[in-house]
Amino acid sequence: MIVVLKQNPNPAQLDSLIAWLEEKHIEVNKSVGTTHTILGLVGDTAAIDPDLISALGIVEDVKRVQEPYKHANRKFHPEATVVQVGDAKIGGGTLTLMAGPCTVESEAQIVEIAKRIKASGASILRGGAFKPRTSPYSYQGMGEEGIALLKTARAETGLPIAAELTDSAQLPLFADVDLIQVGARNMQNFALLGVLGRQEKPVMLMRGHCATYEEWLMSAEYIMAGGNHNVILCEGGIRSLEPSTRYALDLAAVPILRRLTHLPILVDPSHAASRSWLVPEIAPAAVAAGVDGISAEVHNDPEHAVMDGPQSLDPDTFDALAKKLTALHDYLG
Amino acid sequence: MIVVLKQNPNPAQLDSLIAWLEEKHIEVNKSVGTTHTILGLVGDTAAIDPDLISALGIVEDVKRVQEPYKHANRKFHPEATVVQVGDAKIGGGTLTLMAGPCTVESEAQIVEIAKRIKASGASILRGGAFKPRTSPYSYQGMGEEGIALLKTARAETGLPIAAELTDSAQLPLFADVDLIQVGARNMQNFALLGVLGRQEKPVMLMRGHCATYEEWLMSAEYIMAGGNHNVILCEGGIRSLEPSTRYALDLAAVPILRRLTHLPILVDPSHAASRSWLVPEIAPAAVAAGVDGISAEVHNDPEHAVMDGPQSLDPDTFDALAKKLTALHDYLG
Amino acid sequence: MIVVLKQNPNPAQLDSLIAWLEEKHIEVNKSVGTTHTILGLVGDTAAIDPDLISALGIVEDVKRVQEPYKHANRKFHPEATVVQVGDAKIGGGTLTLMAGPCTVESEAQIVEIAKRIKASGASILRGGAFKPRTSPYSYQGMGEEGIALLKTARAETGLPIAAELTDSAQLPLFADVDLIQVGARNMQNFALLGVLGRQEKPVMLMRGHCATYEEWLMSAEYIMAGGNHNVILCEGGIRSLEPSTRYALDLAAVPILRRLTHLPILVDPSHAASRSWLVPEIAPAAVAAGVDGISAEVHNDPEHAVMDGPQSLDPDTFDALAKKLTALHDYLG
Amino acid sequence: MIVVLKQNPNPAQLDSLIAWLEEKHIEVNKSVGTTHTILGLVGDTAAIDPDLISALGIVEDVKRVQEPYKHANRKFHPEATVVQVGDAKIGGGTLTLMAGPCTVESEAQIVEIAKRIKASGASILRGGAFKPRTSPYSYQGMGEEGIALLKTARAETGLPIAAELTDSAQLPLFADVDLIQVGARNMQNFALLGVLGRQEKPVMLMRGHCATYEEWLMSAEYIMAGGNHNVILCEGGIRSLEPSTRYALDLAAVPILRRLTHLPILVDPSHAASRSWLVPEIAPAAVAAGVDGISAEVHNDPEHAVMDGPQSLDPDTFDALAKKLTALHDYLG
């Protein structure tokens, strides 16, 4: 951390600041220039709140040099984390395919989809039971019954199941769900993240729609700080100025996060694209960018889907895509 | 709602769509052009999910003409809503001043601040007890003890108290808090909004950092749909491309929302500005834009504040500002 | 400027960097920490290209401490600049009203508007002759004839005239125009800025639709570096995620720029709002934020305007607004 | 185009609007609902300015159904355009590699780079001679001499040359340049686009940093409307809320634009990434998204480059990347 002081700082205040920092076992290197004095802080500066220092009258600016996340930081954990989800693995060089409908509708629907995606090579079934909707008047999902139907589909196919949890009160219902998804709108629901950090199920954390990489990693850190290191990041797009897609998929996130963190990184092209035709055209780009997996919406009958039909693939299209992505991943090595 | 069909829609599918809409008591006006056929839907289209219709193969585009919020809509409720918070009123032509520290630190601190802001004309004391922080390593607030200290300050001054609730599990602690604040990061925490809709305390809903007006009003609608109509909107800024302010204050929101909704609208310049000197310079603009009140951070000793000192006003500065804003509001009429 | 070096920098490369900087009369203060070595550069660092230094293998990061603009910087020119435009003054404590149609249409139109706005207290007539349009098929303005009609209106009323120049080739036509406007889309047309810096007419520089304050000031600096210090900044809104306004007016720009620069600052609410009813509701906020003037679109017959009718005020509405803004400015002192 | 009228529109005004539209050979289909009347306009609505209609008092909203670009529209020109640049072709199924330094520095530099990239499979040499810089104090390029050195490199290697033109006054210097680049900041410099439309050299149009797809295509339309159909689109990233990259590369632009237009589409990962290590990690994603080519910055000595060294590849890295991208393109078919 670098503290840039205002010109001619009050010497007593400066001494007091330095003493306060040294009490916290921070080493302070002072560099006096003709226009500015700069303090270089060395030590465990993640514990120092930059806001506190900025508040001081003698301080002009505080610049962090080190990342504020520890558990998620690749610097302190160079090898890639592999998260086990049922029999599936996410991370560490494989390409994991996760697929399923936006919302669970019936046993027939979810079981058929599960069978089809399994046959296509997917190793995790995703399906929504609690849906975060912008409008209170929109369909909110089947809730508990949806979770039960996912379990039925798991029993029929052996696929581990993933579903979004929208409130910590739902946690008991997820006791037998294999992967808990935190949606983009809850990425900074810190209370929820704290709860998920104090249990053991793997958590897939969607990127918030206007979150920076650092904010996203800090949200992962909330979960990890509680003791649960089974965290998967999932890029599903950010708000942009372009009106023709719901969210702009930020594929540069994949290689950049790869450097910053050891956690696995998925991409959800369906969420970003909001149109099914775009999914098979952009998913190969995500694979070429180096993702650990793809999460895609698949519906056995998109035209009659209760929700998000326009962004769902039919099983045949998913089958062709799954084969293409797997072959591409193998080709790229 | 307007449904633009693709060229040469399948007649059976079109009939099926029209029949389905008419079942839902929607009147359908068909306009056949040489390149496009357009359906104009009339009736309670708020109950129609545009996603469902977009999913159909014969549909090119769906355009909403009416706002999807009902309870919050000024069209159906022309007179301004006035929310009672203890002895204070928000809305309906008065300028309400709410002030207090980012975080409650001690009895001495919060009582002194309460006395000072009351003397300056503020009618509501705000103070944070549960703080949503980007980092799990940052100070998270005093929690229950902070709420207790706010009550002490209320007992000493008579000012109603406002505090942010970050999780529905905290609700019992807020039973005797006068105004519940929902922070920007929780604006689309729909589970939390639902819970707050099923209780009676007034709720101040901060705008999400990348939320549109409509999304914000739909979140208010979640609370109102549950039965709680005591909702106050608070603009605290949105993410922008300008790095020098934490959030960009969108003052046009005030007159635009005034047309769209009957709910009161506050502005929190401290949250947006992140620097205390900017607060007194931009707050008069919010008053001139027609807000129902200002929520500002005030600390008795900003240089030693535990959090957000840089954006807190000291009591003297707040006093001068409160007088200026009140006089300006009176001048503008 | 602060240069953060990578761990264990190559000593020969470091010596070479320091020597190179010292050759450029930059004083280098080295601060060696246990994890990072930091160089504090003191002197005329505006002449040092941070990109050059970032490129070096031993450098991790370069952080600027000082603003890169000199002529526009208030630090080096504390008193406010007042720009003379014909008989009108912009800056220095007065509130200047500039008004006129989006596009000049006819002698009768522009002369009538000029007379009306003059009667309302406006001191500069604005009118478009060369219009930057997103579509090549949209009306592009009257061009040279439009400039001639503006001069006619000036002859009739005595009001100085302002018009947008979209290409340096038009400069001869502007020889007798009192104020040259550079539109938002040309804010970083550096060739054009250079040409305008080498002539003497005052220039009003609109903020680019995704420009930061610093980029805007650097564009002003391009004009000033050429010798023309008669530059006026005009905030007309930036792109935001909110679809209901064309641009989001950033009123915090006014007090922040006031600190950063001595140049006058106007606000154009019509450009941002794109709807006339919003203009009188947001313009008082701009005045309360401390602008030096307002530039508004006024048309004698908005319903039949060739362009931008929806955002134009009629003369009666402008008259009421002008009186209100002037009185508010006087009230605020 | 769909015109949504206000409730109970004045019949005389409505008749007048319909008559005006029919005069312009637009067929008007009126659909009268209980709350809204809607006009569906059929015919050459690209010639109708939506702003004109919005201005009318009886109109609530105007919604376009058809794209406003004609020449660039794939609907009217289904086969892909192939642009010939010297001996190289861009578009139509090949992967074109364009490479070179951010700025031409010397004959030795540009000739060496040209030889190296040619050996690696690049078919066009790019190099900057006129550089658009945010600061007037930054290096602005070699100008005319830089163009001359590019020609020398072409003479030595046979590679066609591409360079950015920043002002129409430079056009004579580009008479013998094979491809003219329009930078992101000039994407809406309509005067410049008009000039480039009235000459025959191919033009590569970078996407503006906050431009929508439609605005970008409308800028291409400006060039094409002048008669020059040799236009290439180049995505180089847009502004986003993420501070760690200069621009966010929007790879979904590739498949979406492929549907909207027949023009070739390149991606410039160097411009977006601003860090060389990211270029080889994201460029394969661009190829997998279906681009017609990649434009990359290559410098023979990035550490000593005059500009943009941090984002330049060295020739060996480019060589490996070029082979990888070509093989990937062949693999994908």
Q: What is the DSSP string of A66-77?
A: S-S-STTBGGG-
Predicted local confidence at residue D91, as pLDDT? 97
Give the residue, C109 or A34, on which the prediction is more confident: C109
CB contact under 8 A, B238 and C238: no
Per-residue three-class SS string for chain D? CEEEECCCCCHHHHHHHHHHHHHCCCEEEEEECCCCEEEEEECCHHHCCHHHHHCCCCEEEEECCCCCCCCCEHHHCCCCCCEEECCEEECCCCCEEEEECCCCCCHHHHHHHHHHHHHHCCCEEECCCCCCCCCCCCCCCCCHHHHHHHHHHHHHHCCCEEEECCCHHHHHHHCCCCEEEECHHHCCCHHHHHHHHCCCCCEEEECCCCCCHHHHHHHHHHHHHCCCCCEEEEECCECCCCCCCCCECCCCHHHHHHHHECCCEEECHHHHHCCHHHHHHHHHHHHHCCCCEEEEEECCCHHHCCCCHHHCECHHHHHHHHHHHHHHHHHHC
Which chain C residue has the Cα nearest residue A35? C42
Q: How far is C94 from chain B (nearest CA, A)?
A: 18
pLDDT, tens digit, 9 for 90 and up, residues D73-97 = 998 899 999 999 999 999 999 999 9
- Decide if A241 and D238 are in contact by the 8 Å CB cutoff: yes
Question: Which residues of chain B have a CB within 8 Å of the CB of D243?
Answer: 243
Distance CA B4, CA B23 (A): 20
- pLDDT recorded at residue A54: 77
Share the mean pLDDT of chain A.
Answer: 91
Chain C residue numbers with beta carbons less than 8 Å from the beta carbon of D304 are: 55
pTM: 0.91
What's the mean pLDDT when you consider all of chain C?
91
- Chain D residue numbers with beta carbons less than 8 Å from the beta carbon of B22 are none
CB contact under 8 A, D29 and B35: no
Is C310's pLDDT higher than 90?
Answer: no
Q: What is the pLDDT of residue B220?
A: 98
Distance of CA D143 to the CA centre of its chain: 23
- DSSP-based helix, strand, coil % in chain A, nearest 5: 40, 20, 40
Cβ of A68 within 8 Å of Cβ of B188? The answer is no
Residue B182: what pLDDT?
A: 98
Q: Chain C residues with CB-CB distance to B under 8 A?
A: 210-214, 238-245, 248-252, 254-256, 272-273, 278, 281-282, 284-290, 328, 331-332
Q: From C27, which residue of chain A is nearest by alpha-carbon distance?
A: A33
DSSP code at position B293:
E
Chains that touch B (3 or more CB pairs under 8 A): A, C, D
* Least CB–CB distance from D34: residue in B42, B210, B241: B42
Query: What does the pLDDT read at residue B165?
Result: 97
- pLDDT at position B326 is 98
CA gap B294, D57 in Å, rounded: 36
CB contact under 8 Å between C249 and B248, yes or no, is no
Alpha helices in chain B (DSSP H): 11-23, 50-54, 107-120, 144-157, 190-197, 213-225, 253-260, 269-273, 279-288, 315-332
Task: Give D331→chain C minimum CA distance, Å.
Answer: 35
A31–C30: do the CB atoms touch at under 8 Å? yes
Contact at CB, A252 and D272, closer than 8 angstroms? yes
According to the model, what pLDDT value does residue A305 have? 65
Joined tokens for residue B249: 């204050």
With a cut of 90, say whether residue D163 has pLDDT above it. Answer: yes
Q: Which residues of B touch D38 (CB under 8 A)?
A: 2, 29, 31, 38, 40
Judged by CB atoms closer than 8 Å, whether chains meet at C289 and B285 is answered as: yes
Amino acid A15: pLDDT: 87
**Pick from B256, B273, B284: CB nearest C278:** B256
Rg (CA), chain A: 23
Q: Residue A313: which pLDDT band, with cuts at 50, 70 and 90?
A: very high
Identify the structural domains of chain B with CATH numbers, from first to last. 2-63 (3.30.70.1140), 83-332 (3.20.20.70)
| Residue B14: pLDDT band with limits 50, 70, 90 | confident
Inter-CA distances, A281 with A316, B41, D139, Å: 15, 34, 41
pLDDT of amino acid A12: 84
The predicted complex's ipTM stands at: 0.90
Q: What is the pLDDT of residue D109?
A: 96
Quick one: tokens of B29? 């006006």
Nearest CA in chain B to C269: B252
The span from the CA of A17 to the CA of C208, in Å, is 41
* Closest CA in chain B for residue C258: B281
Evaluate whether B143 touches B130 at the Cβ level (below 8 Å): yes
* pLDDT at A8 (0 to 100): 80
Please enumerate residues of D whose Cβ is less than 8 A from a Cβ of B. 2, 4, 27, 29-36, 38, 40, 42-43, 60-61, 63, 65-66, 210, 239, 241, 243
pLDDT on residue D192: 97
Token pair belonging to D131: 């550089």
Mean pLDDT of chain D: 91
Listed residue (A143, A180, A149) closest to A162, CA to CA: A180
List the subunits that have 3+ CB pairs under 8 angstroms with A. B, C, D
Q: Please tell me the predicted confidence (pLDDT) of residue D182.
A: 98
pLDDT per position as a tens digit, D13-65: 888 888 888 887 888 877 776 666 778 787 777 767 777 787 677 888 787 76
To the nearest 10°, report the CA torsion of A118, A185, A249, A304. Answer: 50
Q: What percent of chain C has pLDDT over 90?
A: 69
pLDDT digits (tens, 9 = 90+) for C197-207: 999 999 999 99
Query: D242 to chain A, minimum CA–CA distance in Å?
Result: 5
Which tops the pLDDT comparison, A61 or A70?
A: A70
Using a CB-CB cut-off of 8 Å, the residues of chain B touching A47 are 137
